[in-house]
Chain A
């Protein structure tokens, strides 16, 4: 059979049920194979949309997402999702078309050095040079994407080789001598970590996206409840521990709660699980958690001691390690009462500094209140896909995620335009669950063409734009740190107060029901009506224009100096 037909067989063998892509000249053979393959291919409207959709699918299902694009511009359009998947450790296999082998290196039509361009941003990549190797390489790609610290893998397939006739035999194992991710943590280190937790007077568990990726939420909850430890999660880790909850102190970092950040600051022991001490978490690194010792659990050895030297490093799969850690900790029969003074201190912070905002004048809609209304309307049970900006932070602060894989956002790269296409993948991965996009009037316009894909696939996605007529997050920084010198952040191109474009008309043009909400008093009822109506909805909510996200660790400041 043709190599591309074998490709389809390999996808089926990997259990792939849906892929996202866009055709072109160099991948014509692949698209010909789709005709008879019986694989659900979703035609997106921009390759980046396809890449992000594959990410959304992967984030919600935990399975490997698959994305296709042609050579040259198709491949370069995939660069953003590839980097995004790398930063957030999302398992996606990207297939790019490539020019014929005799044209390689000659600047042929639509030739781009895809392998070279993407090399620093992939977990691994393969250039196909022998079509007989394609099946084995596909399975290796899935294996690499899915295991260890997940990430993007790219396969570049020259046009002529994709048409070549090969003898296909199902591949049942992969052999990668240079790739053996460690899964079981060192038993002695785990014991040591249990003893440290038992000895700590001011411990805190700091969980990141790695807990979600490892499927370790149950084990995490077990540890937290057993030890009566306070728990905080990163932006990527939301849902790893069920919120709200007595022991949940909220998200930490730049826009986290004061309780979480102060607890990190005063802790004597921080147990980091699947988190990487990124600068949005630590604030000023040299003043981060000055009194703390660190247990660091991560599947990627290179993360350990990268930013913060660990005292007890444990490399391996968080699920296995946390499971053993709970057992070791239980065996010590420690009295949780020793943490009472610590909890009192945390409760004081929580009472003194709850997440809050100034109420509006009764008519204006406060952006935070929109998230609270979405939370109530969906019973806290939705998948929330976010774009990047203020709305993202408000969604993270005011929607409480009871389960992992419900919160889909671009945390590491901060990619505007991620939310809408990611929701397509998310909804297809979990078709029964209400899927909401929380976005801004800036971000939505970066991939708004995917409304056509939503219509085409008839996906009941609810898009909620917190429309402030600004690139709000940039505006906030200009206001706070650049002496209110506003530079190119006003999106109201029609001038004055009139926001643009007219999203209701735009949604209508795509065949999607659009509504505009401007009145606080009826906000929740209006939202409910829009959510309950069948099919997709586009909800343009006019919110307070100059609202700011608080509290905040100003750039370069330590956490204890939070403002707002």
Chain B
């Protein structure tokens, strides 16, 4: 007979799971390229009350497989619950919760800013500082393309807003893991 207290004390046990990490998460998801996959994923998020910050979908080097990159807030959702629910979808092949320090993330944004003869060059200069591209110039507006991390895009937005931001469009982030390992 063994003294059970020597084996384990229940007080030592700690709860695992359902943890709010409090940071942004980038999930890289490989899915089968079949009709309705995106609906299944967005439907799951609606039903479970998960809020997606950004979502982008694109082909991979294998035409049968697509990659979905989505970002969500780990302060609002227990990320393990999100990934476990996603894994239940039959068409979802692989999910990676990308480690921020090990990940290169990029987003593309187009800004249509109003301008006149004088402000046009100011905006051009700003674009240059952000290594952006002027992709269209009109008499009363200018379109700038910026690529980078979310923070960079948001910084540019703050700078051009005072000139009059007519329109802005963002792709949502795509991300890839650093190093040799596959994302």
Which residues of A are at the interface with B, using a C-beta cutoff of 8 A? 115-116, 119-120, 123-124, 127, 129, 144, 176-179, 192, 195-196, 198-200, 268-269, 293-294, 300-302, 304-306, 309-313, 332-335, 338
CA distance A129 to B36 in the complex (A): 13
B27 to chain A minimum Cβ distance, whole angstroms, is 15
CA distance A192 to B16 in the complex (A): 14
Q: Which residues of A contact B2 (CB under 8 A)?
A: 198, 332-334
Q: Which residue on B lies nearest to A151, using beta carbons?
A: B88
Q: Which residues of B contact A302 (CB under 8 A)?
A: 81, 84-85, 87-88
Contact B43 A301, beta carbon cutoff 8 Å: no
A192-B32 in contact given A120-B43, A306-B18, A310-B15 (Cβ < 8 Å): no
Cβ-defined partner of B8 (8 Å) among A116, A119, A192, A294: A192
Q: Which residue on A lies nearest to B14, using beta carbons?
A: A311
Contact B36 A199, beta carbon cutoff 8 Å: no
CA distance A276 to B100 in the complex (A): 33
CA distance A177 to B32 in the complex (A): 9
Cβ-defined partner of A119 (8 Å) among B17, B31, B39: B39
Cβ-defined partner of B91 (8 Å) among A115, A178, A332: A178
Contact B17 A309, beta carbon cutoff 8 Å: yes
A309-B10 in contact given A178-B92, A334-B2 (Cβ < 8 Å): no
Answer yes or no: B89 CB below 8 A from chain A CBs.
Answer: yes
The majority secondary structure among interface residues of chain B is mixed
What 4 A-B pairs come out closest when comparing CB atoms?
A: A305-B17, A309-B15, A302-B84, A311-B13
Cβ-defined partner of B47 (8 Å) among A120, A198, A293: A120
Q: Which residue on B lies nearest to A194, using beta carbons?
A: B7
Q: Which residues of A contact B80 (CB under 8 A)?
A: 305
Contact B93 A334, beta carbon cutoff 8 Å: no
Cβ-defined partner of A124 (8 Å) among B8, B84, B85, B90: B90
Within 8 A of A (CB), among B1-34: 1-2, 4-5, 7-10, 13-18, 31-32
Contact A312 B36, beta carbon cutoff 8 Å: no
CA distance A176 to B81 in the complex (A): 23
Contact A304 B17, beta carbon cutoff 8 Å: yes
Q: Which residue on A lies nearest to B30, using beta carbons?
A: A178
Q: Which residues of A contact B36 (CB under 8 A)?
A: 115, 119, 127
Q: Which residues of A contact B162 (CB under 8 A)?
A: none
Q: Which residue on A lies nearest to B64, using beta carbons?
A: A177
Contact B16 A309, beta carbon cutoff 8 Å: yes
Q: Mark B36-65, 1 if CB is under 8 A from A, else 0.
A: 100110011001000000000000000000
A119-B1 in contact given A199-B10, A293-B13 (Cβ < 8 Å): no
Contact B43 A178, beta carbon cutoff 8 Å: no
With A119-B36, A178-B31, A269-B10 known, 4 other A-B pairs at CB within 8 A are A195-B4, A198-B7, A301-B87, A334-B1
Answer yes or no: B35 CB below 8 A from chain A CBs.
Answer: yes
Q: Which residue on A lies nearest to B86, using beta carbons?
A: A302
Q: Which residues of B contact A305 (CB under 8 A)?
A: 15-18, 78, 80-81
Cβ-defined partner of A306 (8 Å) among B32, B40, B81: B81
A293-B32 in contact given A302-B88, A310-B17 (Cβ < 8 Å): no
A-B interface pairs (CB < 8 A), number: 93
A229 to chain B minimum Cβ distance, whole angstroms, is 14
Interface size on B, residues (CB 8 A): 35
CA distance A108 to B121 in the complex (A): 57
Contact B15 A144, beta carbon cutoff 8 Å: no
Contact B89 A178, beta carbon cutoff 8 Å: yes
Q: Which residues of A contact B15 (CB under 8 A)?
A: 294, 305, 309-311
Contact B32 A312, beta carbon cutoff 8 Å: no
Q: Which residue on B lies nearest to A149, using beta carbons?
A: B88
CA distance A120 to B49 in the complex (A): 13
A335-B90 in contact given A302-B81, A305-B18 (Cβ < 8 Å): no
A-B contact pairs, 9 of them (CB 8 A): A119-B43, A178-B32, A179-B90, A196-B10, A293-B10, A301-B84, A305-B18, A305-B80, A332-B4
Interface centre among B2, B13, B40, B92 (most CB of A within 10 A): B13
Contact A195 B1, beta carbon cutoff 8 Å: no
CA distance A144 to B90 in the complex (A): 9
CA distance A305 to B1 in the complex (A): 34
A313-B85 in contact given A199-B10, A305-B80, A333-B1 (Cβ < 8 Å): no
Contact A119 B40, beta carbon cutoff 8 Å: yes
Q: Which residues of B contact A200 (CB under 8 A)?
A: 10
B136 to chain A minimum Cβ distance, whole angstroms, is 36
A178-B93 in contact given A305-B80, A310-B15, A333-B1 (Cβ < 8 Å): yes
Q: Which residue on A lies nearest to B89, using beta carbons?
A: A178
Q: Which residues of A contact B32 (CB under 8 A)?
A: 177-178
CA distance A313 to B18 in the complex (A): 12
A313-B10 in contact given A302-B81, A302-B88 (Cβ < 8 Å): no
Within 8 A of A (CB), among B61-88: 78, 80-81, 84-85, 87-88
A41 to chain B minimum Cβ distance, whole angstroms, is 28
Cβ-defined partner of A312 (8 Å) among B1, B13, B35, B44: B13
B66 to chain A minimum Cβ distance, whole angstroms, is 12
Q: Which residues of A contact B39 (CB under 8 A)?
A: 116, 119
Contact A199 B16, beta carbon cutoff 8 Å: no
Q: Which residues of A contact B8 (CB under 8 A)?
A: 192, 195-196, 198-199
CA distance A179 to B1 in the complex (A): 44
A389 to chain B minimum Cβ distance, whole angstroms, is 27
A310 to chain B minimum Cβ distance, whole angstroms, is 6
Q: Which residue on A lies nearest to B44, using beta carbons?
A: A120
Q: Which residue on B lies nearest to A198, using beta carbons?
A: B4
Q: Which residue on B lies nearest to A203, using beta carbons?
A: B10
CA distance A195 to B18 in the complex (A): 24
A328 to chain B minimum Cβ distance, whole angstroms, is 11
A521 to chain B minimum Cβ distance, whole angstroms, is 53
Contact B81 A313, beta carbon cutoff 8 Å: no
Q: Which residues of A contact B10 (CB under 8 A)?
A: 196, 199-200, 268-269, 293
B19 to chain A minimum Cβ distance, whole angstroms, is 8
Q: Which residue on B lies nearest to A338, using beta carbons?
A: B4
Interface centre among B18, B35, B78 (most CB of A within 10 A): B18
A413 to chain B minimum Cβ distance, whole angstroms, is 15
CA distance A464 to B36 in the complex (A): 45
Q: Which residues of B contact A293 (CB under 8 A)?
A: 10, 13
